[in-house]
Chain A
Amino acid sequence: MSMITLKHLERFYPLAKGKFFYVLRDINLEVNEGDFVSIMGPSGAGKSSLLHVIGMHDHAWSGEYYFDDDPIHSLKPKERSTLRNEKIGFVFQNYHLLDDLTVYENLDIPLSYRHVNKAGRDSIVCDALDRFHIVGKKDLYPRQLSGGQQQLVSIARAMIANPKLILADEPTGNLHSDQGKEIMEMFKTLNAGGTTIIQVTHSDVNAAYGNRIIQLRDGFVV
Chain B
Amino acid sequence: MNTLLQDIRFGFRMLLKHKAFTAIAVIALGLGIGANTAIFSLVNGVLLRPLSFPDAERIIYFEGRNPSSGITDSNISFLDFTDWSQQTDLFKATAAFWTGNANLGADGAEPERVPRAGVTSGFFPVLGVQPVLGRTFVPEDDKPETTSVAIISHGLWKRRFGSDPAIVGKQAQISSRPITVIGVMPSGFEFPEQTQVWVPSAVNLSDEPRDNRAWSAIARLNPDVDLMQAQTRISAINAQLAKQFHETNKGWDVFLSTLHERVVREVKPSLLALLGAVGFVLLIACANVANLLLARSAARQKEIAIRAAMGASQGRVLRQMLTESILLSAIGGIAGLLLSVWLTDVLMSIVPEGAPRLDQVGIDYRVLTFALGVSALTGILFGLVPALHASKLDVTSALKEGGRSAEGHRRTSARSLLLIGEVALSLMLLVGAGLLIKSFVRLQEVRPGFNAHNVLIANVALPGAKYKDQQFVEFFRQLKDRLEAAPGVQAVGGAINLPLGASGYGIGRGFVPEGRPLTRDELFDASCSPITGDYFRALQIPLLGGRFFQLRDNAEAPKIVIINESMAKRHFGSPSEAIGKRLTIWRDENFMREIVGVVGDTKTGSLTGESGAQVYVPHAQDSQWNFMGMVIRTAGDPAAFATTLRREVQALDKDQPIYNVRTMDDVVMNSIGTRRVSMQLFTVFACAALLLAALGIYGVMACSVTQRTQEIGLRMALGAQKSDVLGLVIRQGMALTVIGVIVGLAGAFALTRVIGNLLYGVTATDPATFVAIPLVLLFVALLACYLPARRAARLDPTRALAQS
Q: Tell me if A81 and B399 are in contact (CB < 8 A).
A: no
Partner of A98, one of B2, B307, B316, B396: B307
Q: Tell me if B396 and A52 are in contact (CB < 8 A).
A: yes
- A93, CB-defined interface residue at 8 Å: yes
Could you say which interface size class chain B belongs to?
20 to 34
- Max chain A Cβ within 10 angstroms of own Cβ: one of B302, B316, B401: B401
Q: Tell me if A90 and B309 are in contact (CB < 8 A).
A: yes
Partner of A58, one of B3, B13, B302, B396: B396
Q: Tell me if A92 and B399 are in contact (CB < 8 A).
A: yes
- B17, CB-defined interface residue at 8 Å: yes
Given A100-B14, A118-B2, A110 contacting B396 (CB threshold 8 A): no
- B518, CB-defined interface residue at 8 Å: no
Q: Tell me if B310 and A48 are in contact (CB < 8 A).
A: no
Partner of A81, one of B3, B307, B311: B311
Which residues from 1 to 56 on chain B have a C-beta closer than 8 Å to any C-beta of chain A? 2-3, 6, 10, 13-14, 17
Given A96-B302, A98-B303, A99-B303, A109 contacting B399 (CB threshold 8 A): no
Q: Tell me if B302 and A112 are in contact (CB < 8 A).
A: no
Q: Tell me if B306 and A96 are in contact (CB < 8 A).
A: yes
Chain B positions 307 through 351: 1 when the CB is less than 8 Å from some CB of chain A, otherwise 0: 111111100100000000000000000000000000000000000
Which residues from 141 to 176 on chain A have a C-beta closer than 8 Å to any C-beta of chain B? 157, 161, 170
Q: Tell me if B17 and A109 are in contact (CB < 8 A).
A: no
Given A58-B396, A92-B399, A96-B399, A157 contacting B310 (CB threshold 8 A): yes
Q: Tell me if A48 and B307 are in contact (CB < 8 A).
A: no
Q: Tell me if A113 and B316 are in contact (CB < 8 A).
A: yes
CB distance from B304 to the nearest CB of A (A): 10
Q: Which residues of B contact A161 (CB under 8 A)?
A: 311
Chain B positions 233 through 272: 1 when the CB is less than 8 Å from some CB of chain A, otherwise 0: 0000000000000000000000000000000000000000
Task: Tell me the nearest residue of chain B to A48, going by C-beta.
Answer: B400
CB distance from B394 to the nearest CB of A (A): 9
Task: Tell me the nearest residue of chain B to A94, going by C-beta.
Answer: B401
- B778, CB-defined interface residue at 8 Å: no
Given A57-B396, A118-B2, A113 contacting B313 (CB threshold 8 A): yes
Q: Which residues of B contact A179 (CB under 8 A)?
A: none
Which residues from 71 to 111 on chain A have a C-beta closer than 8 Å to any C-beta of chain B? 78, 81, 84-85, 90, 92-94, 96-101, 109-110
CB distance from A89 to the nearest CB of B (A): 9
Q: Tell me if B17 and A110 are in contact (CB < 8 A).
A: no
CB distance from A19 to the nearest CB of B (A): 18
Query: Interface majority SS on B: helix, strand, loop or mixed?
Result: helix
Q: Tell me if B14 and A81 are in contact (CB < 8 A).
A: no
**Bound: A96/B302 CA distance, A:** 8
- B762, CB-defined interface residue at 8 Å: no
Q: Which residues of A contact B2 (CB under 8 A)?
A: 117-118
Q: Which residues of B contact A109 (CB under 8 A)?
A: 307, 310
**Bound: A58/B394 CA distance, A:** 8
Q: Which residues of B contact A112 (CB under 8 A)?
A: 3, 6
Partner of A84, one of B3, B307, B311, B316: B311
Q: Tell me if B10 and A101 are in contact (CB < 8 A).
A: yes
Task: Tell me the nearest residue of chain A to B6, going by C-beta.
Answer: A112
CB distance from B7 to the nearest CB of A (A): 10
Q: Tell me if B310 and A113 are in contact (CB < 8 A).
A: yes
- B395, CB-defined interface residue at 8 Å: yes
**Bound: A99/B13 CA distance, A:** 11
Q: Tell me if A85 and B311 are in contact (CB < 8 A).
A: yes
Q: Tell me if B311 and A114 are in contact (CB < 8 A).
A: yes
Q: Which residues of A contact B3 (CB under 8 A)?
A: 112
**Bound: A97/B302 CA distance, A:** 10
Q: Given A99-B303, A110-B311, A113-B313, list of 10 further CB < 8 A pairs?
A: A57-B396, A84-B311, A92-B399, A96-B302, A97-B306, A100-B13, A100-B14, A100-B303, A113-B307, A117-B2
Top 5 closest A-B pairs, CB basis? A113-B311, A85-B311, A110-B310, A58-B396, A96-B306
Please list 24 pairs of residues, one from A and one from B, whose beta carbons are closer than 8 Å in the complex, sorted by A's number: A48-B401, A81-B313, A84-B311, A90-B310, A92-B309, A93-B401, A94-B401, A96-B306, A96-B309, A97-B306, A98-B303, A98-B306, A98-B307, A100-B17, A100-B303, A101-B10, A109-B307, A109-B310, A110-B310, A112-B6, A113-B310, A113-B311, A113-B316, A118-B2
Interface residues of B (CB under 8 A from A): 2-3, 6, 10, 13-14, 17, 302-303, 305-313, 316, 395-396, 399-401
Interface residues of A (CB under 8 A from B): 48-49, 52, 57-58, 78, 81, 84-85, 90, 92-94, 96-101, 109-110, 112-114, 117-118, 157, 161, 170
